[in-house]
Amino acid sequence: MPTIAFQGIQGAYSEKAVYQFFGADSQTLPLKSLEEIFSAVENGQADLGMLPVENALTGSHPLAYELLMERDLRIQAEVIMRVRHTLMAAPGVKLADLKRVRSTPQSLRQCEKFINRRGLETISSFDTASSARDLAETPQPDLAVIASKLAAQIYGLNILQEEIEDAPFNYTRFFVLGNDDPPRAQRSKTSLIFSARHLPGSLYRCLGEFAERNINLTKIESRPRRNRPWQYLFYLDFEGHWQDPVVEAALLALLRQAGFVKMLGSYPIATTPHPEKAL
């Protein structure tokens, strides 16, 4: 059974993504930072890593994409997990008792309507699961935490209300990282990084290599190049596998047009789960 590294402690949303993709009996390795995920896989401490890369509401995780550029792990798969926020408190505490709520800034923003309706004071924290653990260790009668249902179960907290997020279409996308390429799938997606030459029409010509071959782009995002001020890298996802003849031709053409190209991997396309409740 593979060991999968993730950032956070037990009960983190990343751990929940591991269980969603690999099964509830998966072996996990909690780590303090995203950088440690890469190191654990590179040195054999873990077989795979679960890296959060973007959220449907708040956008991309900049550090995750910078690490994909700097390190050499390959994308094995993508995981799309619906984020369900749960309100929890110490045993015996009721919803009417609450005056404060603690969670990460992102989670607090995603539950803003719920929080405002109840007039709760918000307290920012670094990690949702750590907030749940800390509340279990030091119960407070007027304080709740927003975290995953898994965190409430692990730390023995009382679930006051589930699915308190403002938008039901709240999804986080993860990459499963490893040292090798995964088996070729029937429906694949490819991710890469490239830079355009500093010439008029350079980006247009780079992207045109995909358009001319009817290859569908699913994501494009620019990020500053850390070692070259005012220059940018483009992160690109598109449908198809790098071994498909049409994709191979587009990649060869891109190499001629671009200043730099780095392949991150081809992997099976994930399906976005539909929320049960209506918008």
Residues with a known catalytic role: 172, 174
Angle in degrees, CA 130, 136, 138, rounded to 5: 100
Beta bridge partners of 227: none
| CA gap 198, 231 in Å, rounded | 9
- Alpha carbon 57 to its chain's center: 12
Beta bridge partners of 171: 82
Cα 33 to Cα 5, 17, 38, 97, 133, distances in angstroms: 10, 16, 9, 35, 18
The b/e string for 234-244 (b: 16+ C-beta within 10 A; e otherwise) is bbbbbbbbbeb
Residue 74's CB: how many other CB atoms inside 10 A? Answer: 20
**Dihedral sign for Cα atoms in the order 94, 100, 101, 106:** positive
| CA gap 7, 68 in Å, rounded | 15
Q: Closest Cα partner for 17 from 66, 55, 57, 59?
A: 55
